[in-house]
Amino acid sequence: MYVATRGLYRMAPPTIIVPTIIKESVEKIFEAHRTMDQSELKHTLIGLDVGKFYFWHFAYSISFRFSQLWAKVKNHSVLRYIVTSAGEEFYLRKDLKQGYVIYSVKQKLKPQYVGLPGDEIKKLKFSGVEITYTTTSPEVAFTGDTTSDFIVDTNNADVLKAKILIMEVTSDFIVDTNNRKSSSYRSTYVENTMTVENARDYGHTHLSEIINYSSRFENKAILLIHFSARYQLDVIQEALSALHPPLAGRVFALTEGF
Q: What is the pLDDT of residues 103-114, one digit of tens each?
A: 888 889 999 999
66 vs 9 pLDDT, higher one: 9
Closest CA to 66 of 254, 257, 234: 254
pTM above 0.85, yes or no: no
User: 47 and 23 in contact (C-beta within 8 Å)?
Assistant: yes
Residues 146 and 209: their CA atoms lie apart, in Å, by 12
- Residue with more model confidence, 213 or 95: 213
Neighbours of 176 (CB within 10 A): 15
With pLDDT > 90 as the criterion, what percentage of the chain qualifies?
A: 34
Instruction: Specify the CATH number of the domain 50-258.
Output: 3.60.15
Q: In the chain, what are the domain boundaries?
A: 1-48, 50-258
Contact 202, 145 (CB under 8 A): no
